[in-house]
Structure 1
Amino acid sequence: MVIKVCGMREPENIREAEALGIDLMGFIFWPKSSRFVSERPAYLPTTCRRVGVFVDEHIEEVQRIAGEYALDIIQLHGHESPDYIRQLHLSCSLIKAFNIATIDDFTACIPYEGLVDYFLFDTKGQRVGGNGQKFDWSVLKAYRCQTPFLLSGGIGPDDALRIKAFSHPRYAGIDLNSRFELSPGLKDIDSIKSFLEKVKR
């Protein structure tokens, strides 16, 4: 199972999260986010893949940041079209996020089949992301696309058993963020460690 920890910013916090053996670490490059990376951290991970999160950003800016931060993956969390993705011309892997509430929301995924490596399913809310709430995971039974997905949206320390019990043929991993924070952009490393131990046990 792929483990992604998103919304990182503080150098020592980045080191500690990386030491947990996670697979992906997300950095948010959307200025309206409380976890926005306004300047390059003094330390960036080397043993897990770096994910840059963007929301309706100009293609040239995504390309610039991808190069500056040596990003391995680009996550698009806005209304980016299939044509936008085709125009990126990056060697990075791609994640396209969708906000989910009902079965009908999966129809938005169809035009992106074959264009990205993963979908990420987040909770539909007032904010683009980081709402800290779970959607009804039972609707995922209706997901029929071939693209693997990461499960996001309000996963917290008490959800280890639910994660272990969840099953879907395209389920690839989980995305952890706001429910594991001491403050925006600062993760509770002990809480993440305890959670991962329970999930992997």
Structure 2
Amino acid sequence: MIVKVCGMRDAVNIREVERAGADWMGFICYERSPRFIDRVPEYLPQKVVRVGVFVNAAPEVCLRQAEALALHAVQLHGTESPDCCDRLRKSGLKVVKAFAIHRAEELQITEPYAGVCDYFLFDTPCLQYGGSGRSFDWSVLEHYRGSTPFLLSGGIRPESMEALKAFRHPRWEGIDLNSGFESAPGMKDAQTLARFIAEFKKTTSINPLNTSTL
């Protein structure tokens, strides 16, 4: 199971979260986010997949940031088209497309993106782009029948462990953690993260689901 920790900015905190056991680390390249990364950190993680998070950015902008941050993947939170995803994927980047899902019938929006994205990310609907820090009814994902694997997001915090233990889906391949583990925007509680990641990975190894790496 993949554990992605998103919204990283501070070099010391990046090192701490890397040691805490994150598999992927997200850097938000969207200026309106309180976790916007406005410069390359003094330290970039060496043992994780580096993911740039964008909202309706032109592919050229994504590619420039990918070079600056030595990204392995991009995560797209806006209304990016399947053609945009395909172009970025053909550049050699892995592509994660985020969808805010409230009802089962909204899952059909993912269909045009099959085959041009490596992963989907399912999150809570909100007025702004990006995560809201609120959870959503994961049971709607029982109706997802696509072949693209997905990450589960939406207000995951330490108290979410029991719900994660109960969740099952053949295409579920990881979780995305952010504000539920913060002491301030962009600053993660590394000790709490380490405990949570260790328990999550222990649970998913006992009850194996799909596992994937880039």
For the aligned pair, the TM-score class normalised by the smaller chain equals: over 0.9
Percent identity between matched residues is: 50
Report the number of matched residues: 201
Question: SS of the residue aligned with 1:147?
Answer: coil
**Structure 1 stretches of at least 4 aligned residues deviating more than 4 Å after TM superposition:** none
Contact 1:161 1:199 in 2 (8 A): no
Residue 66 of structure 1: aligned partner: 66
Distance 1:130 1:149 in 2: 16
Residue 165 of structure 1: aligned partner: 166
Distance 1:47 1:176 in 2: 18
Question: SS of the residue aligned with 2:20?
Answer: coil
Distance 1:163 1:128 in 2: 24
What is the deviation of 1:97? 0.3
Distance 1:48 1:113 in 2: 25
Question: SS of the residue aligned with 2:99?
Answer: strand
Structure with the bigger RCO (C-alpha within 8 Å, sep 6+) is 2
Give, as a single letter, the amino acid of the residue that structure 2 aligns with 1:23: D
Residue 91 of structure 1: aligned partner: 92
1:124 aligns with 2:125: yes
1:180 aligns with 2:172: no
Residue 49 of structure 2: aligned partner: 49
| TM value normalised by structure 2 | 0.91
1:14-73 per-residue CA deviation (whole Å, 9 max, x = no partner) reads 000001222100000000000000111100000001000000002111111111111001
Residue 149 of structure 1: aligned partner: 150
Q: Cα RMSD between the aligned structures?
A: 1.0
| TM value normalised by structure 1 | 0.97
What is the deviation of 1:132? 0.6
Distance 2:64 2:152 in 1: 28
Distance 1:191 1:100 in 2: 28
Residue 28 of structure 1: aligned partner: 28
Question: SS of the residue aligned with 1:19?
Answer: helix
Structure 2: tracts of 5 or more residues without a match: 203-214
Residue 18 of structure 1: aligned partner: 18
Distance 2:96 2:186 in 1: 21
Distance 1:104 1:169 in 2: 19
Distance 2:199 2:59 in 1: 40
| 128-137 vs 6-15, which moves further | 128-137
| 82-91 vs 125-134, which moves further | 82-91
Distance 1:130 1:113 in 2: 22
